[in-house]
Amino acid sequence: MRYSKLLLFITLGLLATACFDYTRFLSEERSMLARVSKSRIKPEQKLDSLLASSIRVMETALKPINPVKGGKLVAKYYDDNEVAMEAIAGQIQSEFNRMSLVDQGVFAANFARKPYAKQFADLYPKFKKKYNQIKAAAKFIAFFAKAFGKLGTLVSILG
């Protein structure tokens, strides 16, 4: 009896710690993306920040064995950050559309060589495969196809 209470207490403590870690993680990502969306940094840096944040959430969501739990994390991340992510993607697309065709090619080539782009390209298909059937993660998955638009087309041509 004494050991079962101790085991229950330890289990509840670990569960509370895990929930707190996800809450803190989501809060940090939300504040970072909000700062980036409002800042006047270069589009390349905004894209790096967006990809870095997305990579962190995908890596975190791929860790749990239960896809429903990961799907809820991704849905919360997307719901909390949708406005900032859309703003960043819009700013990048706007700047990209103002560039000449040559500058667009240079931007896309530089983007394709970045470590975050390679890491994202490796991680996204695994993430999509695991979470494609989870409705909670559908908005997050659909965001990147829409967000990269013309830039995504150029990157796929280049590499």
pTM comes to 0.76
User: pLDDT tens, 62-82?
Assistant: 887 678 888 888 889 999 999
Does residue 61 lie in a domain region?
A: yes
Distances in Å between the alpha carbon of 121 and those of 49, 111, 126, 133? Answer: 15, 12, 9, 20
Does residue 139 lie in a domain region?
A: yes
| pLDDT number for residue 115 | 86
Does residue 5 lie in a domain region?
A: no
Does residue 7 lie in a domain region?
A: no
Q: SS3 string of the chain?
A: CHHHHHHHHHHHHHHHHHHHHHHHHHHHHHHHHHHHHHCCCCHHHHHHHHHHHHHHHHHHHHCCCCHHHHHHHHHHHHHHHHHHHHHHHHHHHHHHHHCCHHHHHHHHHHHHHCHHHHHHHHHHHHHHHHHCCCHHHHHHHHHHHHHHHHHHHHHHHHC
Confidence of residue 83 (pLDDT cuts 50, 70, 90): very high
Does residue 18 lie in a domain region?
A: no
Least confident residue range of 25-34, 35-44, 85-94, 129-138: 129-138
| pLDDT number for residue 14 | 41
Does residue 148 lie in a domain region?
A: yes
| pLDDT number for residue 152 | 60
Number of separate domains in the chain: 1
In b/e form, how buried is each residue of 67-93, taking b as 16+ CB within 10 angstroms?
beebbbbbbbbbebbeebbebbbebbb
User: pLDDT tens, 84-142?
Assistant: 999 998 888 888 889 998 998 888 888 888 888 888 888 888 888 888 777 778 888 78
Confidence of residue 156 (pLDDT cuts 50, 70, 90): low
Does residue 9 lie in a domain region?
A: no
| pLDDT number for residue 100 | 92
| pLDDT number for residue 117 | 84
| pLDDT number for residue 16 | 39
Structural domain boundaries, residue 115 = 23-158
CB contact at 8 A, 36 and 1:
no
Does residue 52 lie in a domain region?
A: yes
